[in-house]
Amino acid sequence: MNTGSYIDGRWFHPKAERLVRNINPADLDDMIAEFPAATKQDVQRAIDVAQAAFKNWKRTPGPERGRVLWRAADIARQRADEIARTLTREEGKILKEAKGEVMKGISLLEFYAGEGFRMHGKTLPSEARDTFTYTVRRPLGVVGLIAPWNFPWAIPVWKSAPALAAGNTVIFKPAELTPATASLLTEIYEQAGLPPGVFNMLVGSGSVVGEAIVNSPAIRAVSFTGSNEIGGALYVKAAQRGAKVTCEMGGKNAVIVMADADLDKAAVAIHGGAFGSTGQRCTATSRVIAHPAIKEALIEQLTEAAKKIKIGSGLDETVDMGPAVDEKQWKTDFDYINIGREEGARLLLGGKKPEHLMKGYFVEPTIFDNVAPGMRLFKEEVFGPVLSVTTANNLDEALSYANGVEYGLTTSIFTENIDTIMNFVEEVETGMVHVNEPTIGGEAQLPFGGTKSTGVGEREMAEEGLNFFTELKTVFINYSGKAERLFIR
């Protein structure tokens, strides 16, 4: 495995006092690799070479840039098992989920390979005679990408692929908890033929590498996924100097279950949304808002299914749920479990560390009932396998509970009534809406993102994800030699 950082087409070990050690969260005796932390000087060197590489990369035809991404998709498919196993050891999610994430990244590479052939502009009529007007999209320059640990393959792909397809050069900071998976992506881009300096990866802390990226006047755009605390501060700093910024942050996603819902279907969707990936995804289902006529039956299905979850190392293909990613997240999970108890919610299941799994950061699947809409457990993001259940008597009440949080990423409803569905779609305050399916999931060709405190800036993935990494140029061509424009401004 290549460790260290990657600048100008070469791997190197920064001369740093601190080492980034990534440990298997399912087995604390399993150290995967050590990465020497990059310095601010390393970041500046990467920015300098990225600026130099931009001159040629932006002039590379879009279809040729797309072919590099297509080759990367082919190489990733050949190395899919290696990527998935590294991801599982490093982040903790079960191998089945890791393989799914790898395939999601490959799909994104394929989509943006095609976008290299579709750099959309518009032809529009001019008010002036004999004048041809149109718009074209052009790359920004050097862009900074800051990725989280919970999807260490897919999210770096969905940030880097559109940036590269649009003709930008990249400074990429992976999460310190998951540099090994990031190094595999870097290797694959290199193998696919990406020119030196176009993609640069620096492993290090947010306070060093992240700050250097955000504060550099050479970085034209910053794409961040992570916590609201860090994202909010980053947004202010980068926006003050005029950089484009997009931040994808927290979520507190609800599933509304109406009296006419298919309970079997709802229970399966909630179970997967709440406990898949150990609840460590921004689209995870953390709240259930159920009609009183069906709540007890739904809870019975949810608790019986959760009791059957096998917890352990994700490399064991019989396991259903892996560990929390590290000690900090593990402690956060238990902090919120204790908060739920103190607030008076009724603990139905879980809430403990499995006694037979002492070498990792494991948490039992946990379900609370009678969680009032004003409780912290109902309103604040846990990012772990902790599910809160409350009651709502009608759609208006359910929507007020669902909307009554600072986040607005995704929400789902289970019902067979078309009027209820359409009213829900119209009134729910989230960037993504699901009907009779889980809160989780996304597709390469569809925009991903939320409202309110969940996100600022452009949506990710789809055409919108590419547009963020471009600027629009408007062109006026007078072909008669006579300028007869009425100048308004």
Q: Of 18-22, 143-147, 316-320, 369-373, which range is least confident?
A: 18-22
Give 471's strand partners.
Answer: 138
**Confidence bin at 355 (pLDDT 50/70/90):** confident
**Confidence bin at 145 (pLDDT 50/70/90):** very high
Which residues make Cβ contacts (< 8 Å) with residue 279, sequence separation at least 6? Answer: 286, 382, 383, 384, 385, 386
pTM: predicted TM-score of the whole model, two decimal places: 0.96
* CA distance linking residue 362 with residue 471, whole number of Å: 46
| Nearest by Cα to 199 from 178, 235, 236, 173 | 173
Asked if residues 3 and 33 have their Cβ atoms less than 8 Å apart, the reply is yes
Write down all domains in the chain, each with its CATH number in brackets: 5-249+454-474 (3.40.605.10), 253-435 (3.40.309.10)
pLDDT at 351: 96
CA 332 to the chain's CA centroid: 20
pLDDT at 489: 52
DSSP-derived secondary structure letter, 462: H
pLDDT at 478: 93
The catalytic residue among 90, 97, 282, 458 is: 282
The catalytic residue among 101, 176, 248, 364 is: 248
Across the chain, what does the average pLDDT equal?
96
What pLDDT digit, counting tens, does each position of 300-330 carry? Answer: 999 999 999 999 999 999 999 999 999 999 9
The total of other beta-carbon atoms located within 10 Å of residue 340's CB is 24
Q: Is 199 left (phi over 0), alpha (psi -120 to 50) or beta?
A: beta
Q: Of 12-16, 221-225, 332-336, which range is least confident?
A: 12-16
pLDDT at 487: 55
pLDDT at 485: 58
Q: Of 139-153, 184-198, 218-232, 471-485, which range is least confident?
A: 471-485
> Is 282 considered catalytic here?
yes
Structure tokens at 255: 């599933």
The Cα-based distances of 126 to 29, 137, 315, 477, 485 in angstroms read: 68, 19, 61, 10, 10
Asked if residues 477 and 132 have their Cβ atoms less than 8 Å apart, the reply is yes
